[in-house]
Amino acid sequence: MLTTKTKVSLASLAYKFIATGRTMAGKNNCVTVRRRGLMWSLDLSEGIDFSIYLLGAFERSTAITLEKLVKPGDVVWDIGANVGAHTLGLARSVGSAGRVFAFEPTDFAFDKLKRNLALNPELQARTYPRQVLLAAAPAEDAPEEIFASWPLEKGEPVHPKHRGRLVTARNATVDTLDRVVAREGVHRVDVIKMDVDGHELKVLQGGLTTLSKFRPILVMELSPYVHAEEHNSFAALVALLRDAGYSIQHASTWAPLPLQERELEALIPDGASINVIARCDSRS
Tell me what percent of the residues of the chain surpass a pLDDT of 90. Answer: 75
Tell me what percent of the residues of the chain surpass a pLDDT of 70. Answer: 98
List the chain domain ranges: 59-280
Is it the case that residue 278 has pLDDT exceeding 70? yes
Is it the case that residue 283 has pLDDT exceeding 80? no
What is the CATH code for 59-280? Answer: 3.40.50.150
In 3D space, the residue among 76, 80, 6 whose CA is nearest the CA of residue 47 turns out to be 6
pLDDT in tens, 2-12: 677 788 888 89
Which residues 6+ apart lie within 8 Å of 137 measured at CB? 176, 206
Rounded average pLDDT over 204-230: 92
pLDDT in tens, 82-114: 999 999 999 999 999 999 999 999 999 999 999
Instruction: For residue 162, name the pLDDT band (cuts at 50, 70, 90).
Output: confident
Rounded Cα distance, 208 and 281, in Å:
16
pLDDT given for residue 164 in this prediction? 84
pLDDT given for residue 284 in this prediction? 44
Which residues 6+ apart lie within 8 Å of 247 measured at CB? 256, 259, 278, 279, 281
Is it the case that residue 243 has pLDDT exceeding 60? yes
Q: Which residue has the higher pLDDT, 79 or 157?
A: 79
Is it the case that residue 1 has pLDDT exceeding 70? no
Is it the case that residue 62 has pLDDT exceeding 80? yes
Rounded Cα distance, 231 and 252, in Å:
28
